């Protein structure tokens, strides 16, 4: 698939600092506000946000068939519901307007000053209204680590794991945008030396490094989406931290799965990197054996080479990188996830969020959670300030970063960050 906006030769007249996540080849969409603007849609370019309401109302996006007011809304749902053909056309037009070879916006000084807003002057908001949220369990390395830790290491994976993308329905209302603080959750835990559970704040608060996709189309109840059709339903991706209270979860999850150990909060990055922008970074996924059932079979490269990193910043001291991994390690790809999710006739909606599950790689430094990095507290991590962490402490900020890079072009997600406050 050839997409004009992905051309690695493109250069913008907007200054893009070296190493920026937001070159002209990215152009992710988000919702922002300022002192003077309510919630409106924008696109990231370098250290600026491009106001799409201004562009639309002043004729820069004419001819694309966009409804009036499409960008002057609290969420991007109605825009992404226009379909990938239209959203791709918008991204291509924005790419043209920002290109150093195109004069329309570049030489219109008044328009430039009004349409381009420095990032430090904006507040990013939740980009979509999320009706439904599903969390998968798609990393073989993560599932094996957890299975080895709590079950038999020789049979770490449950019998179904290599046959279907395991997942569960999570809580959509507690998904928050990067920069939102969360209080340490409380619940029942059962200490190893006690016969009865106690009610208290979690003692094993953890992060989970994940990638999530957002859907742009609906299907009718009773119909299913094939692996071939799946990408027509996916608008783009965000970074995702599915915070986890491990001790609450361990006590409650049998027989029905995670509940209070998960639903107190999940954090997403504010910029949606489009499926189109990630096109150049496709790679072949892990070999799947035994062979999957026909409805999960697919052709082509459906995984993405996206570098991922987690840092912990304590209340006092600098941030420490504790994990580096890559989305290409995921065993189950997004096409298979969506096909499996709907094979029973489940209907999906515009703006639904589907998370990958914790992404872990093959080496200890690539494990995507403290549960694995510290092996359930047995091997505490040392931070740059000399402190150690078995699990997260109050005042800790977890920062997730991600980017894909090829041919000198870096397409990034910005950051997905959240700070832990004491329990209420």
- Rounded to whole angstroms, the Cα distance separating 217 from 220 reads 10
Peptide bond preceding 85 in cis form (omega within 30 of 0): no
Q: Counting every residue, how long is the chain? A: 424
Q: What backbone phi and psi angles, to 5 degrees, belong to 254?
A: -95, 125
H or E stretch at 183: strand 182-183
DSSP code for 120: G
Report the SS3 class of residue 324: strand
Report CA-CA distances (Å) from 4 to 1, 21, 25, 85, 277. 10, 19, 9, 13, 10
Number of CB atoms found within 10 A of residue 289's CB: 7
- The answer to whether 71 and 56 are in contact (CB under 8 A) is yes
- The answer to whether 133 and 170 are in contact (CB under 8 A) is yes
Angle 280-286-291 from CA coordinates, rounded to 5°: 125
Structure tokens at 41: 């849609």
- The answer to whether 367 and 373 are in contact (CB under 8 A) is yes
DSSP code for 99: B
Structure tokens at 145: 């680590």
| CA atoms lying within 13 Å on the CB side of residue 108 | 15
| C-alpha torsion 383→385→391→395, nearest 10 | -140
Q: Residues 381-389: contacts with CB within 8 Å, 24+ apart? A: 381/312, 381/320, 381/322, 383/312, 383/314, 383/317, 383/320, 384/317, 384/318, 384/319, 384/320, 385/314, 385/316, 385/317, 385/318, 385/320, 387/314, 387/317, 389/312, 389/322
Which residues participate in catalysis according to the annotation? 142
- The answer to whether 233 and 249 are in contact (CB under 8 A) is no
- The answer to whether 312 and 320 are in contact (CB under 8 A) is yes
Peptide bond preceding 255 in cis form (omega within 30 of 0): yes
């Amino acid at each position: 698939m050839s997409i004009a906006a992905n051309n690695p030769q493109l250069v913008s007249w907007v200054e893009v600092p070296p190493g920026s996540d937001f070159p002209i080849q990215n152009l992710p969409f988000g919702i922002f506000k300022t002192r003077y603007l309510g919630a409106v849609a924008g696109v990231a370019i370098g250290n600026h946000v491009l106001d799409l309401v201004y562009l639309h109302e002043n004729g820069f996006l004419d001819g694309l068939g966009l409804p009036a007011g499409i960008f002057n809304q609290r969420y991007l749902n109605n825009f992404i519901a226009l379909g990938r053909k239209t959203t791709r056309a918008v991204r291509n037009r924005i790419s043209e307007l920002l290109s150093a070879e195109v004069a329309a916006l570049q030489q219109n000084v008044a328009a430039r000053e009004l349409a381009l807003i420095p990032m430090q002057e904006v507040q990013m908001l939740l980009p979509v209204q999320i009706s439904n949220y599903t969390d998968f369990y798609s990393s073989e390395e993560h599932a094996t680590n957890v299975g080895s830790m709590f079950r038999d290491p020789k049979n770490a994976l449950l019998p179904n794991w290599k046959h279907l993308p395991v997942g569960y329905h999570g809580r959509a209302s507690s998904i928050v945008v990067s920069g939102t603080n969360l209080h340490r959750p409380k619940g029942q835990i059962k200490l190893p030396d006690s016969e009865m559970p106690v009610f208290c704040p979690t003692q094993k608060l953890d992060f989970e490094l994940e990638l999530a996709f957002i859907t742009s189309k609906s299907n009718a109840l009773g119909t299913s989406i094939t692996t071939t059709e799946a990408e027509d339903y996916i608008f783009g991706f965000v970074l995702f931290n599915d915070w986890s209270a491990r001790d609450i979860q361990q006590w409650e999850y049998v027989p029905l799965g995670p509940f209070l150990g998960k639903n107190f909060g999940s954090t997403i990055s504010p910029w949606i990197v489009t499926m189109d922008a990630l096109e150049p970074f496709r790679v072949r996924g892990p070999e799947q054996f035994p062979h999957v059932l026909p409805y999960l079979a697919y052709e082509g490269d459906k995984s993405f080479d996206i570098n991922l990193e987690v840092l912990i910043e304590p209340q006092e001291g600098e941030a420490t990188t504790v994990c580096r991994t890559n989305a290409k390690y995921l065993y189950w790809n997004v096409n298979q996830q969506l096909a499996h999710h709907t094979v029973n006739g489940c209907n999906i909606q515009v703006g639904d969020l589907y998370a990958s599950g914790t992404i872990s790689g093959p080496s200890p430094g690539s494990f995507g959670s403290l549960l694995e990095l510290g092996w359930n507290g047995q091997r505490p991590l040392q931070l740059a300030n000399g402190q150690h962490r078995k699990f997260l402490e109050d005042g800790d900020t977890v920062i997730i970063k991600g980017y894909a890079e090829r041919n000198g072009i870096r397409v990034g997600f910005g950051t997905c960050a959240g700070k832990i406050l004491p329990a209420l």
